[in-house]
Amino acid sequence: MTGLLATVLRPGLTTVQDGGRRGFTDVGVPRSGALHRERYLIAAGLVTGALDPRTPALEVLGGLLELELRASVVFAIVGPADVALDGSVSATGSTHVGQVGAVLSIRWGGPGPVYVGLAGWQPPLVLGSAATDTFSRLGGSIVAAGAELEGTTPEGAAAQVGAFHRPLVQDRGPVRVVPASGPVQDLITTTWRVSQASRSGIRLAAGDRRGSGTVPSSPTVPGAIQLTPSGEPIILGPDGAITGGYPVTAVVADADRDRVSLLAPGDEVGFRAIDVTEAARLSRERKAWLRRSLAHARLLA
C-alpha cells in the first residue's frame, strides 16, 4: 500500500528527474531527464541495486533541500553537497537509512547537480516518466515546500544500507566532439567562456564573432552544438528544443556530456574533434567504469 515517505520542508532548487522519456520526440516531446547521467544512475543504483533509468530521483541544482521523513526511508545522495541527518553529518555516495521524524538536509555545493535517491518513492508518471522538463513544465514537478513524496518501501531495502561507490575516473582536457556539418575549426581552436547555463543548454561566448545565419528547422539532440547568427555556440541540454533553425556544427561525445553539465557562467571550455568510432569506444568504456564503481552485491553478481 502506498504511503507517505517524506515531506519537503525546504525545496532548494530541485526538480523530479529520472532517465527521461523515450520515444516521443516525433510528436514534439523532449526526452528531458537527469542533467548529470552518471551521478543520477549511481544514486539509483545505490538504493535499488540496479542501473535502472526508470528510478526517480530528486535533482538539486542549488540551495538547501530539507526533507522530513515520514517513514523509515533508505536513501543515497550523490554529488557535491553537505548532508546531515538530524544534524549529524551523513556521507554522500553511500546508502543510509533514516527513521520516522528525522530531518534530512542536503545543501548543494556545486559544480553540477546533486541527486537524492529514495527507495520505493513513486512520483506520478507522464508518458511513462517522472522527468521534469523545466522549459515546457511537462512531466514531473519543480519541487515546492510542503510537497509530499509518496511510495512503498520495498522489502529488503535495508539490505542496501552500506552500499557505496568508488570515485569515477575524471576525464580532463578539452571536451570531445564529433563534427556534424560545416566547418568545425573555429569551434576547436577557440577557448570559450560560458555566458549562460541551464537545463535547456549552455551558451558560450568569445569576443566578437559572426555565425552562419539560420537554416531550415531540423531535428536536434542533447549535446548538439548549434551556431547562432551572432557566432555564439549553444550546447543543447536535456530540456533543449528537439528542432532548431541554427546550424549544428558538432555533437558532444556521449562520454563527455556529463562534463558539460558541470559548467557554470564564467567557466572556460575548449573542444577537440574526434570521429564516431572513437566516440563509441569512449562511451562503452565510460559505462563499464560506471558499473565497476558501484560496490553493491547485486551489481557485482
Judged by DSSP in three states, 15 sits in strand
Q: How far is CA 177 from the centre of its chain?
A: 19
DSSP 3-state percent helix, strand, coil across the chain (nearest 5) = 15, 35, 50
DSSP H stretches of helix in 33-189: 37-48, 185-188
Band of the pLDDT at 18, cuts 50, 70, 90? very high
Question: What is residue 215's predicted lDDT score, i.e. its pLDDT?
Answer: 55
**What's 96's DSSP letter?**
E
pLDDT confidence of 301, banded at 50, 70, 90?
A: very low
CATH class for the domain made up of 175-289:
mainly beta
**For residue 139, what are the contacts with CB-CB under 8 A and spacing of at least 6?**
16, 21, 32, 126, 127, 129, 130, 131, 132, 133
Give the mean pLDDT of 84-113. Answer: 94
* pLDDT tens digits for range 189-237: 999 999 999 999 999 998 666 555 555 557 788 999 998 888 899 999 9
Nearest to 19 by CA among 61, 50, 65, 62: 50
Contact 232, 211 (CB under 8 A): yes
Percentage of residues of the chain with pLDDT beyond 70? 93
With a cut of 50, say whether residue 79 has pLDDT above it: yes
The confidence score (pLDDT) of residue 241 equals 81
Task: Name the H helices within the chain.
Answer: 37-48, 185-188, 257-260, 276-292, 297-300
Residue 54, phi then psi, degrees to nearest 5: -85, -10
pLDDT band of residue 62 (cuts 50, 70, 90) is very high
pLDDT higher than 90, residue 22? no
User: What is the pLDDT, as a whole number, of residue 300?
Assistant: 46
The CB density around residue 301, as the number of other CB atoms within 10 Å, is 6
pLDDT in tens, 157-200: 777 888 888 887 777 899 999 998 767 888 999 999 999 999 99
Mapped onto helix, strand or coil, the DSSP state of residue 45 is: helix
Averaged pLDDT for residues 101-121: 96
| Strands (E) located in 123-189 | 148-151, 164-165, 175-179
What's the mean pLDDT in 95-102? 95
Burial (CB count within 10 angstroms: exposed 0-12, middle 13-18, buried 19+), residue 92:
buried
Please provide the average confidence, as pLDDT, over all residues in the chain.
90
CB burial string 245-259: b at 16+ within 10 A, e below: ebbbbbbbbbbbbbb
Per-domain boundaries in the chain: 3-165, 175-289
Do residues 127 and 106 lie in contact, with contact meaning Cβ atoms separated by under 8 Å? Answer: no
What does the pLDDT read at residue 299?
54
| CA–CA dist 49, 65 (Å, integer) | 25
